[in-house]
Amino acid sequence: MLGKRAKERLRLNIMRLLLIVVTFVYILPFFWMVSTSLKADQDLFLIPPKWFPIPPEWSNYKNAIEYFPFFTYFKNSLIITFGSVLGTLLVSPLVAYGFSKIYWPGRDFFFYLMLSTMMLPFAVTMIPTFIIFKKLGLVNTLWPLIIPSFFGVPMHIFLIRQFFNTIPDDFIDAARVDGASELQIYWKIMLPLSKPILLLVGLFQFIGSWNNYLGPLIYLTDEEKYPLALGLPLFLDRYGTHWNWMMAASTLAIIPIVIFFFFAQSYLIEGIKLTGLKE
């Protein structure tokens, strides 16, 4: 019979095998995107498709960034996204704390009220919301795309609240007995223990803002303010969409997200809990 060590190794290798299979399936969309971005015009429509374009058509990348002011749009995407992520991380945990570790009358009512705001499709609230921003004089600026996150994002507040709830109340109560204010508890206990989930929320908000199309579509009317999300659909053309250029632009567009992702997920390696009460 296999010894304990060997059994564990076998188990891990089976996991590894499963992961490799899964990874192969999951890498396909990304692979196709990059592969298309390197195809020459005549190779785009071949059936069966050419998976490995040889030689690679690097000029597609040049054409992609010349199709529209790529770096201007990129800069705008960065501004909108960083602003939103900052707003989200500043405010959402704060609100989540109010829904989590403080027990107050009416708390559940407001919590469900907040959840209910996610139940109406944006299409029907879009125009009244736009009118509000118009009255504030913020149409054709980047502000309507950044300001809302400074008031908390319900979806993220919900997620953080779930994780806050798993932190033992005894711990918090002990701190209160010791004379800590709520704000101190929030800052010194809740936040440090929640780094992984906060990074995840940051990542999700990053992607949401980066790829947001409808918001920029209705609020921006100056080409110099457009983010990448508005730039990519510009490749679509009845007279011949250059899918290769479009995929090249898309590949470049996801680089920041990839960077953020690897940064965020490294924190998920840490934090293996060794004691009953966390750290």
Write out the binding residues for another protein, residues 183-222 only, by CB under 8 A: 186, 196-197, 200, 203-204, 207, 211, 214, 217-218, 221-222
Q: Is 62 in the site for another protein (CB under 8 A)?
A: no
Q: Contact with another protein (CB under 8 A): which of 1, 2, 42, 54? A: 42
Which window, 53-61, 76-84, 155-163, contacts another protein (CB under 8 A)? 155-163
Smallest gap from Cβ 12 to another protein, in A, equals: 6
Of 70-89, which residues contact another protein (CB under 8 A)? none
Q: Is 6 in the site for another protein (CB under 8 A)?
A: no
Of 86-145, which residues contact another protein (CB under 8 A)? 91, 94-95, 97-99, 102-107, 110, 112-121, 123-132, 134, 139-140
Q: Which is nearer to another protein, 58 or 266 (CB)?
A: 266
187 exposure class (CB count in 10 Å sphere: 0-12, 13-18, 19+) = middle
What CA–CA distance (Å, rounded) separates 16 from 80? Answer: 39
Nearest to 249 by CA among 77, 97, 50: 77
In eight-state DSSP terms, residue 68 is T
Of 211-270, which residues contact another protein (CB under 8 A)? 211, 214, 217-218, 221-223, 230, 232-244, 246-247, 250, 253-254, 257-258, 261-262, 265-266, 268-269
Tokens of 190: 């809740």
- What angle is formed at CA 20 by the lines to CA 17 and CA 23, rounded to 5 degrees? 150
DSSP 191-238: HHHTHHHHHHHHHHHHHHHHH--HHHHHH---GGG--HHHHGGGG--T
Q: Is 151 in the site for another protein (CB under 8 A)?
A: yes
Smallest gap from Cβ 151 to another protein, in A, equals: 2
Could you tell me if 92 and 156 are in contact, meaning their C-beta atoms sit under 8 angstroms apart? Answer: yes
227 exposure class (CB count in 10 Å sphere: 0-12, 13-18, 19+) = buried
Q: Contact with another protein (CB under 8 A): which of 9, 26, 184, 192? A: 26
Q: Is 45 in the site for another protein (CB under 8 A)?
A: yes
